[in-house]
A and B are shown apart, each in its own frame.
Chain A
Amino acid sequence: MSEALIRLEGISKSFGRVRANSNVSLEIVGGRVLALLGENGAGKSTLMSILAGQLRPDSGTVSARGRVLQLTSPEEAIAAGIGMVYQHFKLVEAMTVAENVFLGHRQMLINRRRIEAEVKALASQFGMSVKPSAVIRDLSMGERQQVEILKLLYRRSEVLIFDEPTAVLTPAEAENLFATMRLMLAQGKGIVFISHKLEEVMSVADDIAILRRGEIVDTVPVIEVSSTAELAERMVGRKVLLEVEKKPVEIRQQVLSLHGLGCGERGDGVSFELRQGEILGIVGVAGNGQKELVETVCGLCKPHSGTVRIFGREWGEFFRTAADDPDNTLAWIAEDRQGLATCPSLDLLDNFLLTTRRSFSGGPGKLFLFREEARKRAEYLLKTFDVRPPDLSAAAWQLSGGNLQKMVLAREFYRKPRLIVAEQPTQGLDISAMEEVWKLLLKAREAAGILLVTGDLAEALTLSDRIGVMFDGRLLACFPVEDTVSLAAVPQMMAGICKKSATV
């Protein structure tokens, strides 16, 4: 094994009473991919922010080839050859690719043509296709990521940190990324790869470091790991039921039917039916009309073509009368947990009342809100749904993603919905929280029809009774989850390769 490019020794970092990292030691070796694996809140982001110069450690050292580095700003990390591809891209949308790549250079004058030529040469050297003169806001997510990578290559970074790089990519774009990574490895660069996706880690990484509660619990070469299940077990420290038990449920009356609903610019629209007792999983790469589908079904925007019937009633009629009809409730588990599902700075009781306020109102014209009654109810729900901390006066932003999601589920299920729209319900959650949310959704399907919109195929396969694939505003296929032939074609369909017509 060659010498380490970067060595972290005894890194500790606390935020108030919370220990984000304690005594972490790692080596990043040239020509190898080190995968950093851990649940949410295990301290991966903190550790990498320290490496990227965004945070300062309380103790411990970072050294490069035996020389101790003082990483007090991103500038110094960059100068030391450490670069980070952030999960949320740090690009100036109004500027061109070349300008973004050049940003931060100490050069006085800009020779536009020369920089564009350099960027172009660099891109083709590493198998990337992005055009140097293109403006960022016109680019796809995959292309934007290429720009982030080009920024680092242009600065001759030796160590590249990828924070969940495939989260926003199509399978084909992800393959491209991996090819680019291999070219970088061949040049002796070191790569740190942060991901939740176990299969991906298994296929890309050379070494795997597992973080749990801020500590490195395990560092193993990937050849010594036998399966993703073993990896998951090492990660959470106990066996995880990645397979949740799914009891058959009696399918009852129809709760939602779409006919030719236009989702996005093109396509002949989306048609399907959903019945009480089943989960329909809509999969696809983000941005293929899922947002439009969800927003229309949930009443945020009018169906711009086709018809939507909810509980047998026409779309407009349903949303006019929805408030006065407690027996036919639609619940929405929004993807944007801290923006649409909750108000981040309000406390949990207020957030609980956001959608349940009608059941706690009374007096003339339901003018008054019975907060005490709501408090009792909400306290009980927080306990049964195991939301931590079970404290109604905590603000929503103080909760971790998993706890906030459980709070949202507690609130929505309290309304006894018969139709649930769950949008990316486990995005950003750790495995144990994910498992809890899955179990709750499976239980809820006994009384409701669930439209599950997710980018995570494993989630759709685990939960759904039927699977629908969306691409470019169309439902390419819709089939029972037992249909293994169609299932095998899902990745191609997600990339729009197989143009199978919808069979409802």
Chain B
Amino acid sequence: MNFDILIPLLAATVLSGTPVLYATLGEIITEKSGVLNLGVEGVMMLGAFSAFFVAAATGSPWLAFVVAGVVGMLVVSLHGVVCLWFQGNQVVSGLALTLLGSGLANYLGTPYVGTKAPGFSAVALPGLSRIPALGEIFFNHDPLVYLSYLLPPILWFFFHRTGIGLGLRAVGENPAAARAAGLNVQRLRWLGILAGGFFMGLGGACLSLAYTHLWTSSLSGGRGWIAVALVIFAFWRPGRAVFGAWLFGGVMALQLRLQASGAHVSSSLLLMLPYALTVIVLVFSSARRKSNAAPAALGVNVEPGE
């Protein structure tokens, strides 16, 4: 394969991995606080639609981007009410959120199917984009991609070098210990859920504002579920999430190219490739790791006064 094909392919890898990366980082924050949120797909869909809607109405992609994050927070607050106030089952609540979010976004979006909205376009970073090969792959994208480069180190710093981050991890590992240390478990879990929802909403916005610029039915196409799987692949580490998201993005970009090149393979099979491969990689990477990296109290509800 020569560089004329490889470099655009790698650039497309980063581009199509970015929405999944936002969502994966969101789910990592939520799960670190001990809450399992399987509603990522639904939150992404509503984030994608609200971003599209706001961009079409106002013409401001940045406003649309922020609104998508806020909508994400509003949607996941339902999960918070069910799991934190009423001690409901986290799995059931998350699944309900996926069904609700996807259904609502598709329903509201019906009149807009196939229409376009203003979004982000690629901005070459001065200087950095001149680096041979790397410049084209990493530094000739839309601003949302650049923002996603900053997030993993920021999150790492948050988890390991701030008092709140330490507290958030503690309620996900051992809520009783956190409470005995004087931390407010419920409040920290709210933080985990809401911050997570914010990033999931942003992930959705990446899809409609940067990746496609147009609205289609089921725009997310299961990326929310990929994000849930990538959290496990990443061992709950923001840095590793980048590789997972780009792996998925790479196969996604590759299969699109194969489809376009007119390969004699069913397009349904090609479409399946990124999902199948992600799951296979997940299985192998999890099997190799013996010690469990999951937060010890993941999915365990905590009574408010307990």
Contact = CB atoms under 8 A, between A and B. Distances in A.
Q: Do A and B bind?
A: yes
Interface of A: 52, 54, 73-75, 78-79, 84, 86, 89-95, 99-100, 102-110, 112, 151
Contacts, number: 73
A64 B166 CA distance: 31
Contact of B183 (A54, A86, A103, A109): A103
A103 B177 contact: yes
A92 B163 contact: no
B299 to A, nearest CB: 16
Contacts of A99: 166
Contacts of A73: 182
Nearest to A91: B177
Interface centre among B160, B164, B176, B180 (most CB of A within 10 A): B180
Interface in B169-208: 169-170, 173-174, 176-184
Contacts of A104: 167, 178, 181-183
A91 B176 CA distance: 8
B161 A91 contact: no
A291 B228 CA distance: 38
6 residue pairs, one from A and one from B, having the closest CB atoms? A104-B181, A75-B182, A90-B177, A90-B180, A104-B182, A92-B173
Nearest to A89: B177
B177 A107 contact: no
A104 B166 CA distance: 9
Interface centre among A92, A93, A105, A112 (most CB of B within 10 A): A92
B162 interface: yes
Given A90-B181, A91-B174, A92-B170, 15 more contacts: A74-B181, A74-B182, A79-B182, A90-B174, A90-B180, A91-B177, A94-B296, A100-B177, A102-B163, A103-B170, A103-B183, A104-B178, A104-B182, A108-B162, A110-B162
Contacts of B174: 90-93
A364 B181 CA distance: 59
B216 to A, nearest CB: 42
Contacts of B173: 92-95
A109 B296 contact: no
A103 B181 contact: yes
B161 A109 contact: yes
A84 B170 CA distance: 18
Contact of A105 (B161, B163, B178): B163
A99 B176 CA distance: 16
14 contacts: A54-B180, A75-B183, A78-B182, A84-B180, A89-B177, A90-B179, A90-B180, A90-B181, A92-B170, A94-B169, A104-B182, A109-B163, A110-B162, A151-B181
SS class, residues of chain A in contact with chain B: loop
B162 A103 contact: no
Contacts of A52: 180
B interface, size bucket: 20 to 34
Given A91-B174, A95-B169, A95-B170, A106 B181 contact: no
A93 B291 CA distance: 13
Interface string B150-165: 0000000000111110
B162 A109 contact: yes
A491 B220 CA distance: 66
Interface of B: 160-164, 166-167, 169-170, 173-174, 176-184, 295-296
Contact of A110 (B160, B176, B181, B183): B160
A136 B124 CA distance: 47
Nearest to B180: A90
Contact of B166 (A74, A91, A93, A110): A110
A99 B296 CA distance: 16
Contacts of B180: 52, 54, 74, 84, 86, 90
Interface centre among B164, B167, B177, B179 (most CB of A within 10 A): B177
A84 B177 CA distance: 12
A151 B161 CA distance: 19
A75 B161 CA distance: 22
B141 to A, nearest CB: 31
Nearest to B176: A90
A74 B184 CA distance: 10
Contacts of A108: 162-164
A377 B173 CA distance: 46
A95 B179 CA distance: 16
Contacts of B177: 89-92, 100, 103
A95 B161 CA distance: 13
B290 to A, nearest CB: 13
Contacts of A89: 177
B163 to A, nearest CB: 5
Contacts of B170: 92, 95, 103
Contacts of B296: 93-94
Contacts of A90: 174, 176-177, 179-181
Nearest to A107: B163
Contacts of A94: 169, 173, 295-296
A74 B179 contact: yes
Nearest to A76: B182
A51 to B, nearest CB: 13
A52 B167 CA distance: 20
A73 B179 CA distance: 9
Contacts of B176: 90
B32 to A, nearest CB: 11
Contacts of B163: 102, 105-110
Contacts of A54: 180
A99 B181 CA distance: 12
Contacts of B184: 75
A309 B305 CA distance: 52
A102 B182 CA distance: 11
A107 B167 CA distance: 11
B178 A92 contact: yes
Contacts of A95: 166, 169-170, 173
A452 B180 CA distance: 36
B235 to A, nearest CB: 12
A103 B161 contact: no
A74 B183 CA distance: 8
